[in-house]
Amino acid sequence: MPITQVIDAPLDEEREAITAAAEALRNGEVVAIPTETVYGLAADAFDEVALAKVFEVKERPTLDPLIVHIGIKKDLNSVATIPDDIREVVKELTTEFWPGPLTLVLPRNPAIPDLVTSGLDTVAVRMPNHSVMKAICKEVGPLAAPSANRFGRISPTSASAVLDELEGRIPLIIDGGACHNGVESTIIHVEAGEKRPQFRLLRAGPVTKEELQKFGKVIKSGRVTDEKLAAPGQLPSHYSPETKFVLVEDIKNFVFEDGVKYGLLAYKGNAKEGYVDAHEWDAVEILSPGKGKLTEAAVRLFYSMRQLDASGVDVIVAEPVSETGIGVAIMDRLRRAAAEKD
Ligand code: AMP
Ligand code: MG
Protein backbone atom coordinates (compact mmCIF):
# COMPACT_ATOMS: atom_id res chain seq x y z
CA MET A 1 0.00 0.00 0.00
CA PRO A 2 1.56 3.36 -0.97
CA ILE A 3 1.93 6.10 1.60
CA THR A 4 -0.31 9.04 0.83
CA GLN A 5 1.58 12.33 1.00
CA VAL A 6 -0.34 15.54 1.68
CA ILE A 7 1.24 18.76 0.38
CA ASP A 8 -0.12 22.13 1.50
CA ALA A 9 -0.97 24.75 -1.09
CA PRO A 10 -1.38 27.90 1.02
CA LEU A 11 -2.71 30.97 -0.78
CA ASP A 12 0.07 32.82 -2.63
CA GLU A 13 2.52 29.98 -1.96
CA GLU A 14 1.10 27.34 -4.23
CA ARG A 15 4.13 26.75 -6.44
CA GLU A 16 5.65 23.78 -4.60
CA ALA A 17 2.36 21.91 -4.58
CA ILE A 18 1.68 22.67 -8.26
CA THR A 19 5.15 21.42 -9.29
CA ALA A 20 4.83 18.22 -7.24
CA ALA A 21 1.37 17.46 -8.62
CA ALA A 22 2.43 18.16 -12.21
CA GLU A 23 5.45 15.87 -11.88
CA ALA A 24 3.39 13.02 -10.43
CA LEU A 25 0.77 13.38 -13.18
CA ARG A 26 3.43 13.38 -15.90
CA ASN A 27 4.75 10.16 -14.37
CA GLY A 28 1.35 8.56 -14.84
CA GLU A 29 0.18 8.91 -11.25
CA VAL A 30 -3.22 9.98 -9.94
CA VAL A 31 -3.35 13.02 -7.63
CA ALA A 32 -6.17 14.49 -5.52
CA ILE A 33 -6.47 18.21 -6.27
CA PRO A 34 -8.79 20.90 -4.89
CA THR A 35 -11.29 22.59 -7.22
CA GLU A 36 -14.00 25.14 -6.43
CA THR A 37 -16.66 22.39 -6.46
CA VAL A 38 -15.19 19.31 -4.69
CA TYR A 39 -11.75 17.64 -4.59
CA GLY A 40 -10.98 15.82 -7.83
CA LEU A 41 -8.92 12.68 -8.41
CA ALA A 42 -6.96 13.73 -11.45
CA ALA A 43 -5.11 11.82 -14.18
CA ASP A 44 -3.67 12.89 -17.53
CA ALA A 45 -6.72 12.69 -19.83
CA PHE A 46 -4.63 11.08 -22.59
CA ASP A 47 -2.81 8.48 -20.43
CA GLU A 48 -4.86 5.29 -20.45
CA VAL A 49 -2.83 3.58 -17.75
CA ALA A 50 -3.32 6.54 -15.40
CA LEU A 51 -7.02 6.67 -16.28
CA ALA A 52 -7.39 3.01 -15.41
CA LYS A 53 -5.91 3.80 -11.99
CA VAL A 54 -8.66 6.37 -11.37
CA PHE A 55 -11.34 3.72 -11.84
CA GLU A 56 -9.42 1.20 -9.75
CA VAL A 57 -8.75 3.58 -6.85
CA LYS A 58 -12.37 4.78 -6.78
CA GLU A 59 -13.83 1.32 -7.46
CA ARG A 60 -15.83 3.16 -10.08
CA PRO A 61 -17.53 1.22 -12.92
CA THR A 62 -16.05 2.14 -16.27
CA LEU A 63 -19.52 2.89 -17.65
CA ASP A 64 -19.47 6.11 -15.65
CA PRO A 65 -17.61 8.72 -17.75
CA LEU A 66 -15.17 11.29 -16.36
CA ILE A 67 -15.11 15.07 -16.68
CA VAL A 68 -12.08 16.54 -18.44
CA HIS A 69 -10.64 19.72 -16.87
CA ILE A 70 -8.73 22.29 -18.88
CA GLY A 71 -6.57 25.22 -17.79
CA ILE A 72 -6.72 27.27 -21.01
CA LYS A 73 -9.62 27.68 -23.42
CA LYS A 74 -7.71 26.62 -26.49
CA ASP A 75 -7.35 23.13 -24.99
CA LEU A 76 -11.09 22.70 -25.55
CA ASN A 77 -10.25 21.81 -29.16
CA SER A 78 -7.98 18.95 -28.14
CA VAL A 79 -10.80 17.47 -26.04
CA ALA A 80 -13.96 18.19 -28.06
CA THR A 81 -14.87 18.63 -31.73
CA ILE A 82 -17.30 21.51 -31.82
CA PRO A 83 -19.74 21.46 -34.76
CA ASP A 84 -20.57 24.75 -36.52
CA ASP A 85 -24.19 24.78 -35.34
CA ILE A 86 -23.23 25.11 -31.67
CA ARG A 87 -19.96 27.00 -32.04
CA GLU A 88 -21.52 30.35 -31.21
CA VAL A 89 -23.39 29.20 -28.09
CA VAL A 90 -20.36 27.29 -26.79
CA LYS A 91 -18.40 30.52 -27.11
CA GLU A 92 -21.09 32.42 -25.20
CA LEU A 93 -21.31 29.83 -22.44
CA THR A 94 -17.56 29.55 -21.96
CA THR A 95 -17.19 33.34 -21.96
CA GLU A 96 -19.89 33.72 -19.32
CA PHE A 97 -19.24 30.73 -17.05
CA TRP A 98 -15.58 29.67 -17.44
CA PRO A 99 -13.57 29.32 -15.40
CA GLY A 100 -16.38 27.99 -13.23
CA PRO A 101 -18.67 25.11 -12.23
CA LEU A 102 -20.34 24.47 -15.60
CA THR A 103 -19.53 21.24 -17.45
CA LEU A 104 -20.41 21.03 -21.15
CA VAL A 105 -21.10 17.70 -22.83
CA LEU A 106 -19.95 18.07 -26.44
CA PRO A 107 -18.98 15.80 -29.35
CA ARG A 108 -15.62 14.29 -28.45
CA ASN A 109 -12.29 14.74 -30.11
CA PRO A 110 -11.34 11.22 -31.37
CA ALA A 111 -8.02 11.53 -29.52
CA ILE A 112 -9.80 11.30 -26.15
CA PRO A 113 -9.56 7.72 -24.82
CA ASP A 114 -12.72 5.63 -24.50
CA LEU A 115 -12.07 5.24 -20.78
CA VAL A 116 -12.80 8.95 -20.32
CA THR A 117 -16.10 8.89 -22.22
CA SER A 118 -17.19 5.30 -21.49
CA GLY A 119 -17.15 4.84 -25.23
CA LEU A 120 -19.74 7.60 -25.85
CA ASP A 121 -19.47 9.97 -28.82
CA THR A 122 -19.49 12.87 -26.38
CA VAL A 123 -17.10 14.20 -23.77
CA ALA A 124 -17.75 16.27 -20.64
CA VAL A 125 -15.41 19.25 -20.21
CA ARG A 126 -15.00 22.28 -17.97
CA MET A 127 -12.46 24.89 -16.91
CA PRO A 128 -12.23 24.92 -13.11
CA ASN A 129 -12.06 28.17 -11.17
CA HIS A 130 -9.39 27.22 -8.66
CA SER A 131 -5.89 28.64 -8.98
CA VAL A 132 -4.16 25.35 -8.05
CA MET A 133 -6.20 23.09 -10.34
CA LYS A 134 -6.02 25.60 -13.18
CA ALA A 135 -2.25 25.95 -12.90
CA ILE A 136 -1.76 22.17 -12.88
CA CYS A 137 -4.00 21.78 -15.96
CA LYS A 138 -1.97 24.48 -17.72
CA GLU A 139 1.28 22.65 -17.01
CA VAL A 140 0.20 19.09 -17.71
CA GLY A 141 -2.66 19.58 -20.20
CA PRO A 142 -6.24 18.30 -19.93
CA LEU A 143 -6.89 16.26 -16.78
CA ALA A 144 -9.73 13.78 -16.31
CA ALA A 145 -10.97 14.09 -12.75
CA PRO A 146 -13.97 12.60 -11.00
CA SER A 147 -14.59 13.41 -7.34
CA ALA A 148 -11.87 12.03 -5.04
CA ASN A 149 -14.06 9.59 -3.13
CA ARG A 150 -14.79 5.91 -3.38
CA PHE A 151 -17.64 5.27 -5.82
CA GLY A 152 -21.13 6.13 -4.62
CA ARG A 153 -19.94 7.81 -1.44
CA ILE A 154 -19.96 11.41 -0.27
CA SER A 155 -17.81 13.79 -2.33
CA PRO A 156 -14.85 15.28 -0.43
CA THR A 157 -14.73 19.05 0.14
CA SER A 158 -11.48 19.06 2.16
CA ALA A 159 -8.12 17.29 2.07
CA SER A 160 -8.97 15.42 5.27
CA ALA A 161 -12.13 14.06 3.67
CA VAL A 162 -9.99 12.82 0.75
CA LEU A 163 -7.67 11.12 3.25
CA ASP A 164 -10.67 9.39 4.86
CA GLU A 165 -11.70 8.12 1.45
CA LEU A 166 -8.42 7.27 -0.27
CA GLU A 167 -5.55 7.05 2.24
CA GLY A 168 -3.11 4.37 1.14
CA ARG A 169 -4.67 4.20 -2.32
CA ILE A 170 -3.09 7.28 -3.91
CA PRO A 171 0.38 8.79 -3.60
CA LEU A 172 -0.48 12.50 -3.32
CA ILE A 173 -3.15 14.91 -2.06
CA ILE A 174 -2.84 18.67 -2.58
CA ASP A 175 -4.42 20.50 0.37
CA GLY A 176 -5.99 23.75 -0.84
CA GLY A 177 -8.42 24.14 2.06
CA ALA A 178 -12.20 23.90 1.84
CA CYS A 179 -13.96 24.06 -1.54
CA HIS A 180 -15.79 27.32 -2.31
CA ASN A 181 -18.93 25.88 -3.91
CA GLY A 182 -19.16 22.55 -2.12
CA VAL A 183 -21.28 20.68 -4.68
CA GLU A 184 -20.31 19.22 -8.05
CA SER A 185 -20.55 21.21 -11.27
CA THR A 186 -23.73 21.70 -13.27
CA ILE A 187 -23.63 19.41 -16.34
CA ILE A 188 -25.44 20.24 -19.58
CA HIS A 189 -25.51 18.56 -22.96
CA VAL A 190 -25.40 21.29 -25.60
CA GLU A 191 -27.46 20.94 -28.79
CA ALA A 192 -28.35 23.32 -31.63
CA GLY A 193 -32.13 23.11 -31.04
CA GLU A 194 -34.74 24.24 -33.58
CA LYS A 195 -35.02 27.95 -32.79
CA ARG A 196 -32.67 28.44 -29.87
CA PRO A 197 -29.78 26.37 -28.54
CA GLN A 198 -30.96 23.62 -26.23
CA PHE A 199 -29.30 22.47 -22.99
CA ARG A 200 -30.22 19.14 -21.48
CA LEU A 201 -29.59 19.38 -17.74
CA LEU A 202 -27.75 16.19 -16.77
CA ARG A 203 -26.81 17.26 -13.23
CA ALA A 204 -27.95 20.27 -11.19
CA GLY A 205 -25.12 22.31 -9.68
CA PRO A 206 -23.90 25.80 -8.78
CA VAL A 207 -24.76 27.29 -12.20
CA THR A 208 -28.54 27.48 -12.12
CA LYS A 209 -31.23 26.89 -14.72
CA GLU A 210 -32.17 30.58 -14.51
CA GLU A 211 -28.60 31.62 -15.39
CA LEU A 212 -28.48 29.19 -18.32
CA GLN A 213 -31.82 30.26 -19.77
CA LYS A 214 -30.30 33.50 -21.04
CA PHE A 215 -28.31 31.47 -23.54
CA GLY A 216 -30.75 28.75 -24.59
CA LYS A 217 -33.64 26.52 -23.63
CA VAL A 218 -33.02 24.28 -20.61
CA ILE A 219 -34.70 20.87 -20.76
CA LYS A 220 -34.77 18.03 -18.26
CA SER A 221 -32.48 15.06 -18.80
CA GLY A 222 -35.48 12.71 -19.00
CA ARG A 223 -36.34 13.49 -22.60
CA VAL A 224 -33.47 11.64 -24.17
CA THR A 225 -33.73 9.91 -27.51
CA ASP A 226 -30.17 8.66 -27.70
CA GLU A 227 -30.05 5.78 -25.23
CA LYS A 228 -26.28 5.66 -25.18
CA LEU A 229 -26.13 9.22 -24.01
CA ALA A 230 -28.63 8.75 -21.24
CA ALA A 231 -27.00 5.66 -19.78
CA PRO A 232 -23.89 6.63 -17.84
CA GLY A 233 -23.61 8.56 -14.65
CA GLN A 234 -27.29 9.17 -14.05
CA LEU A 235 -27.34 6.79 -11.12
CA PRO A 236 -30.20 7.45 -8.69
CA SER A 237 -28.24 6.28 -5.63
CA HIS A 238 -25.08 8.32 -5.11
CA TYR A 239 -23.39 10.60 -2.58
CA SER A 240 -24.40 8.19 0.16
CA PRO A 241 -23.31 8.05 3.78
CA GLU A 242 -22.87 4.57 5.24
CA THR A 243 -25.53 5.37 7.83
CA LYS A 244 -29.19 5.02 6.79
CA PHE A 245 -30.24 8.38 5.36
CA VAL A 246 -33.80 9.66 4.98
CA LEU A 247 -35.09 12.90 3.50
CA VAL A 248 -38.19 13.83 5.51
CA GLU A 249 -40.60 16.26 3.82
CA ASP A 250 -42.75 16.71 6.96
CA ILE A 251 -41.40 15.76 10.37
CA LYS A 252 -44.92 15.58 11.87
CA ASN A 253 -45.60 12.46 9.83
CA PHE A 254 -42.30 10.80 10.69
CA VAL A 255 -42.43 7.88 13.13
CA PHE A 256 -39.43 7.72 15.48
CA GLU A 257 -38.69 4.23 16.76
CA ASP A 258 -37.67 3.54 20.34
CA GLY A 259 -34.00 2.74 20.94
CA VAL A 260 -32.90 4.17 17.60
CA LYS A 261 -30.37 7.00 17.57
CA TYR A 262 -31.33 9.76 15.17
CA GLY A 263 -29.09 12.49 13.79
CA LEU A 264 -30.43 15.62 12.09
CA LEU A 265 -29.10 17.36 9.00
CA ALA A 266 -30.88 20.69 9.43
CA TYR A 267 -31.06 23.54 6.97
CA LYS A 268 -31.45 26.61 9.21
CA GLY A 269 -30.46 27.17 12.83
CA ASN A 270 -33.89 28.62 13.43
CA ALA A 271 -35.72 25.94 15.44
CA LYS A 272 -39.22 27.29 14.78
CA GLU A 273 -39.10 26.68 11.06
CA GLY A 274 -36.98 23.56 11.05
CA TYR A 275 -36.76 20.18 12.77
CA VAL A 276 -34.24 21.05 15.50
CA ASP A 277 -36.89 20.97 18.29
CA ALA A 278 -38.91 18.11 16.84
CA HIS A 279 -36.94 15.33 18.60
CA GLU A 280 -34.13 14.74 21.05
CA TRP A 281 -31.55 14.23 18.38
CA ASP A 282 -28.32 12.38 19.20
CA ALA A 283 -26.43 14.65 16.79
CA VAL A 284 -27.30 17.77 14.84
CA GLU A 285 -25.51 19.45 11.94
CA ILE A 286 -26.86 22.74 10.64
CA LEU A 287 -26.14 23.60 7.02
CA SER A 288 -26.67 27.33 7.36
CA PRO A 289 -26.65 28.29 11.03
CA GLY A 290 -28.06 31.78 10.46
CA LYS A 291 -31.35 32.42 8.70
CA GLY A 292 -30.55 30.00 5.95
CA LYS A 293 -28.37 30.81 2.96
CA LEU A 294 -28.37 28.24 0.19
CA THR A 295 -24.81 29.01 -0.97
CA GLU A 296 -23.56 28.44 2.58
CA ALA A 297 -25.66 25.26 2.86
CA ALA A 298 -24.03 23.96 -0.35
CA VAL A 299 -20.52 24.61 0.99
CA ARG A 300 -21.31 22.73 4.21
CA LEU A 301 -23.45 19.93 2.76
CA PHE A 302 -20.94 17.12 2.26
CA TYR A 303 -18.90 18.10 5.32
CA SER A 304 -22.03 17.92 7.50
CA MET A 305 -23.07 14.60 5.98
CA ARG A 306 -19.63 13.20 6.81
CA GLN A 307 -19.81 14.50 10.39
CA LEU A 308 -23.19 12.83 10.96
CA ASP A 309 -21.99 9.64 9.30
CA ALA A 310 -19.10 9.50 11.81
CA SER A 311 -21.25 10.47 14.83
CA GLY A 312 -22.50 6.97 15.61
CA VAL A 313 -26.21 7.58 14.97
CA ASP A 314 -28.34 4.83 13.40
CA VAL A 315 -30.39 7.05 11.10
CA ILE A 316 -29.72 10.48 9.58
CA VAL A 317 -32.84 12.57 9.02
CA ALA A 318 -32.38 15.35 6.46
CA GLU A 319 -34.53 18.47 6.37
CA PRO A 320 -35.40 19.75 2.87
CA VAL A 321 -34.01 23.11 1.70
CA SER A 322 -35.84 25.54 -0.58
CA GLU A 323 -35.58 24.27 -4.12
CA THR A 324 -34.42 27.45 -5.83
CA GLY A 325 -30.99 28.47 -7.19
CA ILE A 326 -28.31 26.15 -5.85
CA GLY A 327 -31.02 24.61 -3.62
CA VAL A 328 -31.99 22.50 -6.65
CA ALA A 329 -28.52 20.92 -6.57
CA ILE A 330 -28.66 20.42 -2.79
CA MET A 331 -32.05 18.69 -3.00
CA ASP A 332 -30.76 16.52 -5.86
CA ARG A 333 -27.85 15.35 -3.68
CA LEU A 334 -30.13 14.76 -0.66
CA ARG A 335 -32.54 12.68 -2.76
CA ARG A 336 -29.72 10.61 -4.20
CA ALA A 337 -28.18 10.08 -0.75
CA ALA A 338 -31.58 8.84 0.40
CA ALA A 339 -32.20 6.60 -2.62
CA GLU A 340 -32.09 2.85 -2.02
CA LYS A 341 -28.84 1.22 -3.04
CA ASP A 342 -29.00 -1.77 -5.38
P1 AMP B 1 -17.91 13.05 -11.43
O2 AMP B 1 -16.68 13.04 -12.25
O3 AMP B 1 -17.93 12.04 -10.33
O4 AMP B 1 -18.27 14.45 -10.99
O5 AMP B 1 -19.05 12.59 -12.42
C6 AMP B 1 -18.96 12.84 -13.78
C7 AMP B 1 -20.34 12.74 -14.34
O8 AMP B 1 -20.38 13.49 -15.55
C9 AMP B 1 -20.76 11.36 -14.77
O10 AMP B 1 -21.23 10.59 -13.72
C11 AMP B 1 -21.84 11.66 -15.79
O12 AMP B 1 -23.06 11.91 -15.14
C13 AMP B 1 -21.38 12.96 -16.40
N14 AMP B 1 -20.79 12.78 -17.73
C15 AMP B 1 -19.49 12.73 -18.03
N16 AMP B 1 -19.31 12.54 -19.36
C17 AMP B 1 -20.53 12.48 -19.91
C18 AMP B 1 -21.01 12.30 -21.24
N19 AMP B 1 -20.18 12.15 -22.27
N20 AMP B 1 -22.34 12.27 -21.42
C21 AMP B 1 -23.18 12.43 -20.39
N22 AMP B 1 -22.79 12.61 -19.10
C23 AMP B 1 -21.48 12.63 -18.87
MG1 MG C 1 -18.47 11.78 -8.05
How far, rounded to the nearest angstrom, does the alpha carbon of residue 280 sit from its chain's CA centroid?
A: 33
pLDDT for the residue numbered 58: 96
pLDDT for the residue numbered 240: 86
pLDDT for the residue numbered 231: 44
Which atom of ligand 1 approaches the CA of 116 most closely?
16
CB proximity list for 95: less than 8 A, separation 6 or greater? none
If you compute the radius of gyration of the chain from its CA atoms, what whole number of angstroms results? 20
pLDDT for the residue numbered 228: 46
pLDDT in tens, 169-199: 999 999 999 999 999 999 999 999 999 999 9
- Contacts of range 278-287, beta carbons closer than 8 Å, 24 or more positions apart: 278/251, 279/251, 279/317, 282/311, 282/312, 282/313, 283/307, 283/308, 283/311, 283/312, 283/313, 287/321, 287/330
Compute the distance from residue 122 Cα to the ligand 2 centre, in Å. Answer: 18
Cβ atoms < 10 Å from Cβ of 74 = 7
pLDDT for the residue numbered 337: 94
Look at the pTM and tell me if it is higher than 0.75: yes
pLDDT for the residue numbered 281: 97
Domains in the chain (CATH in brackets) are 5-220 (3.90.870.10), 244-338 (3.40.50.11030)
d(CA 143, CA 136): 9
Compute the distance from residue 145 Cα to the ligand 2 centre, in Å. Answer: 9
**Residues framing ligand 1 (Cβ under 6 A):** 64-67, 105, 117, 120, 122-124, 146-147, 184, 187, 202-203, 229, 232-234
Burial label for 32, CB within 10 Å (0-12, 13-18, 19+), is buried
SS (H, E, C) 165-224: HHCCCCCEEEECCCCCCCCCCEEEEEECCCCCCEEEEEECCCCCHHHHCCCCEEEECCCC
Antiparallel, parallel or unpaired: β 186-191 and 102-107: parallel
Q: Which residue has its alpha carbon closest to ligand 1 atom 6? A: 66
Q: CB of 35 within 8 A of CB of 69?
A: yes
Antiparallel, parallel or unpaired: β 31-33 and 40-44: antiparallel
Which atom of ligand 1 approaches the CA of 38 most closely?
4
Q: Which residue has its alpha carbon closest to ligand 1 atom 5? A: 146
pLDDT for the residue numbered 63: 87
Q: Which residue has its alpha carbon closest to ligand 1 atom 9? A: 233
**Three-state DSSP class for residue 43:** strand
Residue 183 backbone class (left: φ over 0; alpha: ψ -120 to 50; beta: rest): beta
Per-residue pLDDT of the chain (342 residues; tens, 9 = 90+): 579 999 999 988 999 999 999 999 999 999 999 999 999 999 999 999 999 999 999 999 888 899 999 999 999 999 999 999 999 999 999 999 999 999 999 999 999 999 999 999 999 999 999 999 999 999 999 999 999 999 989 999 999 999 999 999 999 999 999 999 999 999 999 999 999 999 999 999 999 999 999 999 999 875 444 444 444 556 666 788 999 999 999 999 999 999 999 999 999 877 677 899 999 999 999 999 877 899 999 999 999 999 999 999 999 999 999 999 999 999 999 999 999 765
Compute the distance from residue 149 Cα to the ligand 2 centre, in Å. Answer: 7
Q: Closest ligand to 226 CA?
A: 1
The residues facing 265 across adjacent strands are 285, 318
CB proximity list for 75: less than 8 A, separation 6 or greater? 137, 141, 142
Q: Closest ligand to 128 CA?
A: 1
Q: Which residue has its alpha carbon closest to ligand 1 atom 7? A: 233
Compute the distance from residue 203 Cα to the ligand 1 centre, in Å. Answer: 9
How far, rounded to the nearest angstrom, does the alpha carbon of residue 100 sit from its chain's CA centroid?
A: 12
Q: Where are the beta strands (DSSP E) in the chain?
A: 5-8, 31-33, 40-44, 67-69, 102-107, 122-126, 143-144, 172-175, 186-191, 198-203, 217-220, 244-247, 262-268, 283-288, 315-318
Q: Closest ligand to 54 CA?
A: 1
SS (H, E, C) 133-170: HHHHHHHHCCEECCECCCCCECCCCCHHHHHHHHCCCC
Which atom of ligand 1 approaches the CA of 185 most closely?
4
Amino acid at 137: C
pLDDT in tens, 194-229: 999 999 999 999 999 999 999 999 998 754 444 444
Q: Closest ligand to 143 CA?
A: 1
Q: CB of 294 within 8 A of CB of 325?
A: yes
d(CA 79, CA 126): 10
